[in-house]
């Protein structure tokens, strides 16, 4: 699994704890050092970090990491980033890589539109053709919401629902095992749901 713009790297650490081989990426060296520190109690053999700029890097650099799944949590905070993320994930999806990204309605919901336009345009130019998929609004489970609220030491707004974008769509993957690293780990649909819940917690921090 590869996480883009990992920040605190919670999805990365969650996937690592489930036995996945993980690469956390970010433009911030500090974020990567913190991610490495968080990974210390777990096996380091399956964890690595890499500087990666969503806007400037060629998508081939992401493909060269050979991910089976790419995760990006709550990144649609500027038009430039939303477009860049759409391009990166569009190339990944058109090359058969599963993706998950989330959005709490940043840019008054325009971030999703910009992302989807960039994603679909990129997929149409890719080897697997166009991709028709959209964000689905999902309620945050109460027990996950409680964890998010408890993490907010200084107050702030808590979103009870977020937009989740998956490709291929969740319905098409239901019941199908998704291999993150064929040599060391098989991650199931249940594991994906667990990972998504961890992303939802991250969005409350």
- CATH of residue 164's domain is 3.40.50.150
Residue 171 pLDDT exceeds 60: no
The average pLDDT across 181-203 equals: 47
Backbone angles phi, psi at 139, to 5 degrees: -70, 140
pLDDT for 116: 95
State the average pLDDT for the chain.
78
Region of 132 on the Ramachandran plot (φ > 0 left; ψ -120 to 50 alpha; else beta) = beta
Ranked by mean pLDDT, which of 1-15, 61-75, 124-138, 168-182 comes out on top?
Answer: 61-75
The predicted structure's pLDDT at residue 185: 39
What total number of domains does the chain contain?
1
pTM of the model: 0.78
pLDDT at 142 over 60: yes
Domain that holds residue 74: 2-202
Residue range 42-90, pLDDT digits in tens: 876 899 999 999 999 999 999 999 999 999 988 999 999 999 999 999 9
pLDDT at residue 180 in the model: 32
28-32: which pairs have CB atoms within 8 A and are 24 or more residues apart? Answer: 31/6, 31/7, 32/6
| pLDDT (mean) for 29-46 | 88
- What was the pLDDT predicted at 36? 92
Residue 176 has pLDDT above 90, yes or no: no
Phi-psi label, residue 192: left if phi above 0, alpha if psi -120 to 50, beta otherwise: alpha
């Amino acid at each position: 699994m590869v996480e883009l713009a990992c920040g605190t790297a919670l999805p990365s650490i969650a996937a690592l704890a489930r036995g996945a081989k993980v690469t956390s990426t970010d433009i911030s060296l500090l974020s990567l050092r913190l991610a490495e520190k968080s990974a210390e109690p777990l096996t380091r053999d399956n964890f690595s970090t890499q500087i990666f700029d969503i806007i400037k890097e060629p998508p081939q650099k992401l493909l060269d990491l050979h991910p089976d799944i790419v995760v990006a949590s709550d990144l649609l905070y500027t038009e430039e980033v939303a477009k860049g993320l759409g391009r990166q994930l569009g190339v990944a999806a058109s090359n058969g890589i599963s993706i998950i990204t989330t959005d709490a309605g940043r840019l008054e919901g325009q971030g999703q539109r910009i992302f989807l336009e960039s994603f679909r345009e990129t997929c149409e130019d890719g080897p697997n053709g166009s991709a028709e998929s959209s964000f689905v609004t999902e309620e945050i489970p109460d027990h996950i919401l409680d964890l998010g609220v408890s993490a907010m030491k200084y107050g702030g707004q808590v979103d009870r629902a977020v937009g989740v974008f998956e490709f291929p769509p969740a319905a098409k993957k239901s019941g199908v095992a998704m291999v993150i690293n064929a040599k060391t780990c098989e991650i199931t649909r249940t594991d994906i749901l667990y990972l998504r819940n961890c992303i939802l917690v991250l969005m409350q921090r």
